[in-house]
A = this chain, B = another copy of it.
Amino acid sequence: MRRRKTPVEIELTEPHLCSMDLRLHILHEVPFFSALGHDQIAEINQQFHEKGFQSGDYLYFSGDPAESLFIIAEGRVKLLRHATSGKDVMLDLLVPGEFFGGLSTASDSSYFETAQAITSVCALTVSREAFRTILTRYPDVGMRVLDLVTGRLEAAHATIHQLSSQSAEQRIAFTLLKLADKLGEAHEVGLLIQTPLSRDELAEMTATTPETTSRVISQFQRDGWINTGREWIALTDPAALLETAEIPT
């Protein structure tokens, strides 16, 4: 039953650029542009530049001057902070259609996090000024952006709540469910989390060590709740995981 090769379908490992069709399609998909018409999207599209990255590349480092807002067209990107100890903390894992980077209006601000490509990535970027112009031109877009950022704040508060009051096992169970919700894909091995994901990275997301993560994951596997291999995880019994995670509202 256990697969040898990863069932995760990753993109090519070369830096990746995307077709004009994909660009327009993605801009339509972005939640805060979805209300706009084709013409408006096409116009906005002019403002965006395209950048390709390969797996492992850094899109920017925390502390760099925050010049651009990024939108992912293809691939996976993680946002992280570095600790003095060398241990990284992963704050978010982003998929196509999501934005990140320089959102603040303050002209002298820097990126607060580091962005790294997990797979090959095609990203669209706008200068902060151009994005600000778009926001003032289309107030509805601004409102949507506000809602999205508020949603992320809520998610961050949920994470703080968890770190403060739940065990490593609970946090890992919950994180797996969150990932499956975002990246889950029905597959013969179970509900597959469609991204390469190492024990180290899962540890960075849950504030534990790779060893603890491995132990917990092994236990989940023994319990028959998940199916896993090198850099991939699929859920076979989400309900059991949810019960373990104890549904933090």
Establish whether residues B145 and A91, one from each chain, have CB atoms under 8 Å apart when the complex forms: no
Q: How far is the CA of A158 from the CA of B147 in the complex (A)?
A: 21
Q: How far is the CA of A152 from the CA of B156 in the complex (A)?
A: 10
Instruction: Find chain B residues with CB under 8 A from A94 CB.
Output: none
A31, chain B: closest CB distance, angstroms: 12
**A154 part of interface (Cβ distance < 8 Å):** yes
**A216 part of interface (Cβ distance < 8 Å):** no
Q: Is the interface of A mostly helix, strand, loop or mixed?
A: helix
Instruction: Find chain B residues with CB under 8 A from A248 CB.
Output: 83-84
Q: A161-B81, A161-B83 are in contact. Are A146 and B149 (CB under 8 A)?
A: yes
Instruction: Name the CB-closest residue of B to A132.
Output: B143
**A63 part of interface (Cβ distance < 8 Å):** yes
Establish whether residues B143 and A105, one from each chain, have CB atoms under 8 Å apart when the complex forms: yes
A152, chain B: closest CB distance, angstroms: 6
**A153 part of interface (Cβ distance < 8 Å):** yes
A225, chain B: closest CB distance, angstroms: 21
Interface residues of A in 137-180 (CB under 8 A from B): 139, 142-147, 149-154, 156-161, 163-166
